Structure 1
Amino acid sequence: MAQTPFYRWIDSCTTDNDFPCTAYPIGADSSGHNVYVGRTHFEQVLGPVTVVPELKKASLPGNGKEHAIEKYQLLCMNHFQWLPSHDGKVLPGAIQGGYNKDGIPLYIGRVCHEGSWIVGTIHPKYGVCYYPYQGKELSTKQYEALVSHFYQV
């Protein structure tokens, strides 16, 4: 994937690293901890990761479960906005977070589930946003999509 001047991925981040000040927060969990966007390779997929540095936690959905992640890339810079979306729709300026094993682009979404903001994977083919929660992979047809400020819907 090509880098753009509006954002970048910081390599080699772990739950034990110092956290860069340019990391992009998506909101807070139900305990008030900031939640950030990461991505990682997992079982032939490059996909979005939920990162909560105060809890030293990073996780992603996959194969019906929530998976703990130790190493990831972190999304940085603040030229983004969250826009309501649904049914796997890819909005203009949507930020690609990775791809599945067939090379289909996956996009960054977020959902608010039981008071916590959680990073999700928008999968256009299946018309949902997948997200990790309490050890499971959940999905929803209603979510918000991360898009660049420089695009208008």
Structure 2
Amino acid sequence: MSGFLWQRSSIYSEFPYNGAVRAGVDQDGTQIFVGRAYHEGDIIPCKIIPEKQACYIAYGGEEILKNEFEVLRTGELSWQFATNGDIPPGALEIGRTTDGEPLYAGRCMWEGSQTPGKVQPSHGCLYFPFNGQEISVKEYEVLVLQ
């Protein structure tokens, strides 16, 4: 795996800002970073908000707080526009369902926040955690290796 690495972390430890991949900003201007967390056998892309000691995944219609996660660090990465479950060439596989489907990091603008989530190709959308819910959109950006 060249171009990036994962670092284990938790909401209780000091966040590794140096080299962490930024996904966007929350409504109040706090930075949001890319990560992944384990849940019910899946590895799911997550949004990490270190200033709020929070990490959230979108799962089963809900925004779920995770205490432990992995932070995506460093790399020649960029965001590319996609729609309807499409995945651009070079997309970085962030996670996987228990059924073996790859999951990708995506992001979108929503109510003044540039927020990340998971692109699940078989569902044709980006799911992201927001205000207690799992929300889906058909237009989004996907994280890719350059």
Name the TM-score class by shorter chain: over 0.9
Contact persistence 2:63–2:132 (CA under 8 A): yes
Structure 1 gap segments, 5+ residues each: none
Superposition deviation, residue 44 in structure 1: 1.3
Match of 2:59 in 1: 62
The alignment status of 1:118 with 2:106, answered yes or no, reads no
Match of 1:31 in 2: 28
Match of 1:14 in 2: 10
Match of 2:143 among 135, 142, 146: 146
The alignment status of 1:71 with 2:94, answered yes or no, reads no
- Normalised to the residue count of structure 2, the TM-score between the two structures is 0.96
Deviates more, 1:64-73 or 1:76-85: 76-85
Match of 1:81 in 2: 78
Secondary structure at the aligned position of 1:54 is classed as helix
Superposition deviation, residue 133 in structure 1: 0.7
How many equivalent residue pairs? 145
Structure 2 gap segments, 5+ residues each: none
Secondary structure at the aligned position of 2:122 is classed as coil
Superposition deviation, residue 51 in structure 1: 0.3
Distance 1:27 1:63 in 2: 23
Match of 1:42 in 2: 39
- Give the % identical residues: 32
Match of 2:100 in 1: 103
Contact persistence 2:24–2:116 (CA under 8 A): no
Superposition deviation, residue 78 in structure 1: 3.9
State the Cα RMSD in Å: 0.9
